[in-house]
Structure 1
Amino acid sequence: MHDYSLETTRVDGVAAMSYRKEPSFENGRVNMRGKRLGTRFTVMAISVLVPVCAAVGAFAIQSSSGRLQVEGLSNKGVLGRADVSNPRLAITAEEGADLAELEVRLDGNPVHTHQTDDRLILDTPSLAEGKHELTATSHSGLPFLDDISRTFTVDTTAPKLRLSPARATGPGAPVTVRGRVEDAGQVKVSIAGAPVPVGDDGTFSRRLEKPPARIEVAATDAAGNVTREHVNAVAPFPLTRAAHLTAIGWSSPEVRDPVLQLVKGKKLNAVELDIKDENGEVGYDSSVPLAREIGAVKNRYDAHKAIDTLHGMGARVIGRIVAFRDPILAQASHHQGKDHRLVQAPDGSPYDGGHYGTLSFTNFADPEVRQYNIALAAEAAKLGFDDILYDYVRRPDGKLSTMRFPGLGDQTPEKSIAEFVADTQRRIQPEGKHLGVSVFGIAATRPTEIAQDIPAIAQHADYIAPMVYPSHWAVGEYGVASPNASPYEIVNRSLADFAKQVKGTRATIVPWLQDFSLGIHYGPTEVAAQIRAAAGDGMNSFLLWNAGAMYQGAALTTLR
């Protein structure tokens, strides 16, 4: 017995084959072996060159002439949206092989190819949904070059995911996320990054003891198509009827006691007490290092005693932080040569804040400025304030071209502000505290004028507090000829706009209402009209503003 080896030569361009006999003995037996000599040709791989899918898996085809490998396919031979976004197929062969020997077809149609080094690149057309067949055939017809064929499916449709509302008893409280997905047997689901089992009916759930502010739910099918949705842990916001008090006001019995009488008489059930005011002064004995370093701490009231007093009366305590209007931080930063903390003019000098003053606005994009305000919020939450309410969480009003914000980069001011709110929310939610954001009335329709994008902010706040003071609206706003003389109409129409802006988010609306006179005298009738207007929009909570803390109890109904 002999082994026969195939030798291939070319004569006048025509392949000629001959065999050479070689004896082979193994374990006393004679075996026949075919050994290829001369030209050695093997299809090594067909590769799907898709950047995002190389790690998904490999689909290999075995033949007597070699191995065809399709990378980027799952074991079920399915290509998803990412795979077909820019598909490129390539065939490689063993050293010395003539790649031009191959004829490649997709669904029976010839595929144009071009060779690069040792790779045959296929100029693959767009792949439609459904099944496809890829074949590679040798032109030479040599017996050891078998035809190769592989079928695969293109599926770019992402899974359909439906989520139920996630309700919590309060901020940071445990919550159960529930939902349903189609094609349960083919889809994997994760909640907050952790995989969860999916029932035969497609339902799934997961209880989160310490939920993040926004909970991501992802559904991934066999083709790698992903649907991502977010659900907010919605805690019911308590009915809140509050009045504003400055730190100095709380320290004065003449100012504080009339407000406490409204709480005792159940006309109010909350007090908004300044933590950091428009001057940059911190009202209590804060331990935040930067506040002490720049001389912001004024210690005008004992935070523990104030909170205990109000809680003892059954009232909630809202801590107001004036964020980016901060003259004390601005002046200290400028004197220290840290102008990156400031809003700047185009030439790098401190921005002229108009009636606010030159060194008045700090830079919302600066990490040190942001961290300073967040540190105050976190400290206040630990002290026992029920809410943290930001004010002046915006850029200065004026032309954007006249301002520079060091560190902002390519980001928009609106996005930076929303991210600041999100950073704060992550810090105070574990303390079980609500986060509110005071905004201009015009922000509902003109978000870029002061960098307050309401839908974006509402994703991370428990409530939005629009300052819809009738005296602050221009003539003709919302079709109201004289807003200041029409408190019901302007408040009702403007708040309806805010209700639309927060729909589908975690936030509710708690408006600031005007209890002061500016241009037109405001008595109990005008204040009560605003309260009725807000209630007409389904908003029964409100905050009253009077700089001197002189509130008109006659405008308020008794809470039950």
Structure 2
Amino acid sequence: MLIPVVGVVVLLLVAGVVTTIVHSRGTGLAVAEFGNGNVVTPSGVESVSITTADPGALDRVTVHVDGQPVEARRADGRITLAGLRLSEGTHTLSVRAANPLPWLPAAEVERRFTVDATPPALNVDVVEAKSPRGPVTVKGTADGADSVRVGDRQVPVKDGRFEASLSTVPTSLRVEANDAAGNAKHHDVAVRVTHPGMRAVHMSAAAWATASLRDPVLAMAREGRIDTVQLDIKDESGEIGYDSQVPLARQIGANRNYYDARAVLDQLHGLGLRVVGRLVAFRDPVLGKASWQSGARDRVSQNASGGAWSAHYGQYAFTNFANPEVREYNIAIAKEAAALGFDDILYDYVRRPDGPISQMVFPGLTTTPEQSIVDFLRDNRAAVRPLGAYLGASVFGIAAHSPTDVAQDIPALSAHVDYVAPMVYPSHWGPGEYGVDNPNARPYDIVKASVADFVRLTQGTGATVIPWLQAFSLGHAYGPGEVKAQTAASTDAGAPSFLLWNAACTYDSAGLEPT
């Protein structure tokens, strides 16, 4: 009887005995994970998995690429080609399994494939949102890409371009382009939010609760003299002006309930005003005293003898900026205020105590004080931006040229805030600063020079400069003329916005003109 050789076996009658012989096409030779016409990266050929129906037959398998034998690795019942590196272009993979019976043909599999080692050319336009409340558009070009991922979203590529609209505004995101071979190119992109600017006055929580101080400020707003109110959230006494729900604030008795935050925000927003919440970070005697007395002394800045740092601030007044619990406390308050509806979180005392650092100890500090402050602000912006708030940092005027005096590195921290607010009060400068012999008597000259320095230092960081200007008298009488000189100087230096400071919260002598 004749049996055609088309199945997996051939039956031979030899001396009356039936013998089974495996035909070449029945060896079960398979090349998996690597289809004909594949486009792969230079290392992509490592995905090849060569198997046979009988694992013992692997010893009879030979592998060639472009007609040249290649070294194959045999393990775990398969053959792989680890370590093979190929140039760009088209290649041929040939796999041959010899039949144990030499008069029968070998099994062969051939794959033609292309190696592509060139990642897509990815360019992302400057990503800038009009508001931290969103949305934000991310777009650019991705020549050679088959797909683009913006953050966690897959977006289409058409004619080499892509565009995605995000409802929320992150501080940064990753944009990645991939091609069919598996080549990838990514950019980690900072998302800028340009501050709209402000003409603002400072109001403490207690002042806002006092009609004789609050009403003139509301009148200034109605007349168009200001467009923003800066209202204290937590001040340098460590007191929180409203009924905070932050657990640690309630535990240490920080709440003072001077105002109903939600009601005030509704009132001021109803007048078309923006509201900046001033949050004093590390000068906090309420937290400092409670921490020291409860045994959590690492929360407090210390002197070289292990006592609480005091200097001119008072005992327990300066908390430890390097302590995670202190940082988390301030971030929790910032998040709560942003969620309530404060438009900006403006940190003050976001620094170390001034004075000789050799006499200070900050338990847990593992980096420079300057970098620790930068990291704190970075973490804050990541926390408050999803809640729709801008982040600002009040800084010393001298920090522009003496960053280590209070741990405020202006270019470094500017990369992690939406604006810096230098305190450039003329009365606080010494004679000869910026070449001005008597700064207090020459408000235009000293403000223009110092603000211009901050504008220069923040260039390219995405941060705006919004200075604190002087609306009080100290050693020199200040009235409308002096205030106007400062606002003009700041504008001429490239920073038209401003915040006016008067600790008494009286601004009848500010002389601001309606816009």
Q: Give, in whole Å, the separation in 1 of the partners of 2:368 and 2:490.
A: 38
Say which of 377, 381, 389 aligns to 2:338: 381
> 1:53 is matched with which residue?
none
Q: Give, in whole Å, the separation in 2 of the partners of 1:488 and 1:504.
A: 26
Say which of 494, 505, 509 aligns to 1:538: 494
Could you report, residue by residue, the CA deviation over 1:533-558 in whole angstroms, capped at 9, with x for unpaired residues? 111133222101121223354542x2
> 1:44 is matched with which residue?
none
Does structure 1 residue 419 correspond to structure 2 residue 419? Answer: no
> 1:273 is matched with which residue?
231
Deviation of 1:413 after TM superposition, in Å, equals: 1.0
Is the contact between residue 148 and residue 175 of structure 2 (CA under 8 Å) also seen in structure 1?
A: yes
Distance 1:97 1:385, change over 3 A: closer
Say which of 311, 314, 322 aligns to 2:280: 322
Is the contact between residue 213 and residue 232 of structure 1 (CA under 8 Å) also seen in structure 2?
A: yes
Deviation of 1:531 after TM superposition, in Å, equals: 0.6
Runs of 5+ in structure 2 lacking a partner? Answer: 1-9, 47-54, 72-80, 95-101
> 2:157 is matched with which residue?
198
> 1:293 is matched with which residue?
251
SS of aligned partner of 1:160: strand
> 1:79 is matched with which residue?
42
> 2:134 is matched with which residue?
173
Distance 1:479 1:409, change over 3 A: closer
SS of aligned partner of 2:39: coil
Is the contact between residue 439 and residue 446 of structure 2 (CA under 8 Å) also seen in structure 1?
A: yes
Deviation of 1:76 after TM superposition, in Å, equals: 2.0
Deviation of 1:286 after TM superposition, in Å, equals: 2.8
Q: Give, in whole Å, the separation in 1 of the partners of 2:434 and 2:323.
A: 36
Q: Give, in whole Å, the separation in 1 of the partners of 2:118 and 2:374.
A: 31
Distance 1:166 1:238, change over 3 A: closer
Q: Which amino acid aligns with 2:139?
A: R
Could you report, residue by residue, the CA deviation over 1:440-496 in whole angstroms, capped at 9, with x for unpaired residues? 234445545434344554444333222222333455544545544443233223323
Is the contact between residue 176 and residue 184 of structure 2 (CA under 8 Å) also seen in structure 1?
A: no
Say which of 380, 392, 396 aligns to 2:353: 396
Could you report, residue by residue, the CA deviation over 1:279-338 in whole angstroms, capped at 9, with x for unpaired residues? 101122333332222121222334455445544544333221111111110110111111
Q: Give, in whole Å, the separation in 2 of the partners of 1:240 and 1:409.
A: 35
Deviation of 1:171 after TM superposition, in Å, equals: 2.6
Is the contact between residue 472 and residue 502 of structure 2 (CA under 8 Å) also seen in structure 1?
A: yes
Q: What percent identity do the matched residue pairs reach?
A: 43
> 2:76 is matched with which residue?
none
SS of aligned partner of 2:214: helix
Q: Give, in whole Å, the separation in 2 of the partners of 1:221 and 1:261.
A: 61
Does structure 1 residue 528 correspond to structure 2 residue 484? Answer: yes
Deviation of 1:530 after TM superposition, in Å, equals: 1.5
Q: Give, in whole Å, the separation in 2 of the partners of 1:231 and 1:503.
A: 15
Deviation of 1:498 after TM superposition, in Å, equals: 2.9
Distance 1:67 1:437, change over 3 A: same
Is the contact between residue 130 and residue 153 of structure 1 (CA under 8 Å) also seen in structure 2?
A: yes
Could you report, residue by residue, the CA deviation over 1:485-517 in whole angstroms, capped at 9, with x for unpaired residues? 443233223323333444445532221112233
Q: Give, in whole Å, the separation in 2 of the partners of 1:309 and 1:371.
A: 30
Distance 1:153 1:543, change over 3 A: same
Q: Which amino acid aligns with 1:321?
A: L
Q: How many residues align?
A: 496
> 1:51 is matched with which residue?
none
The more displaced of 441-450 and 362-371 is 441-450
Is the contact between residue 418 and residue 456 of structure 1 (CA under 8 Å) also seen in structure 2?
A: no
> 2:514 is matched with which residue?
559
Q: Give, in whole Å, the separation in 1 of the partners of 2:400 and 2:92.
A: 55
Q: Give, in whole Å, the separation in 2 of the partners of 1:273 and 1:386.
A: 11
Q: Which amino acid aligns with 2:134?
A: A
Does structure 1 residue 370 correspond to structure 2 residue 311? Answer: no
Could you report, residue by residue, the CA deviation over 1:20-42 in whole angstroms, capped at 9, with x for unpaired residues? xx99469x999996999xxxxxx
The more displaced of 535-544 and 257-266 is 257-266
Q: Give, in whole Å, the separation in 1 of the partners of 2:123 and 2:172.
A: 17
Distance 1:497 1:176, change over 3 A: same
The more displaced of 188-197 and 202-211 is 202-211
Q: Give, in whole Å, the separation in 2 of the partners of 1:488 and 1:399.
A: 33
Say which of 167, 184, 196 aligns to 1:209: 167
The more displaced of 353-362 and 473-482 is 473-482
SS of aligned partner of 1:417: helix
Is the contact between residue 487 and residue 526 of structure 1 (CA under 8 Å) also seen in structure 2?
A: yes
Instruction: Indicate the RMSD between aligned Cα atoms, in angstroms.
Output: 5.0
> 1:12 is matched with which residue?
none
Is the contact between residue 202 and residue 502 of structure 2 (CA under 8 Å) also seen in structure 1?
A: yes
Deviation of 1:189 after TM superposition, in Å, equals: 0.8
Does structure 1 residue 220 correspond to structure 2 residue 182? Answer: no
1:434-445 mapped onto 2 (5 Å cutoff): 434-445=390-401
TM-score of the superposition, structure 2-length normalised? 0.75
Distance 1:308 1:410, change over 3 A: closer
Say which of 418, 431, 436 aligns to 1:462: 418
SS of aligned partner of 2:345: strand
SS of aligned partner of 2:191: strand
Q: Give, in whole Å, the separation in 2 of the partners of 1:293 and 1:416.
A: 27
Deviation of 1:395 after TM superposition, in Å, equals: 2.7
> 2:99 is matched with which residue?
none
Could you report, residue by residue, the CA deviation over 1:313-366 in whole angstroms, capped at 9, with x for unpaired residues? 44333221111111110110111111232234566x355242223412223343
Say which of 351, 354, 360 aligns to 2:311: 354
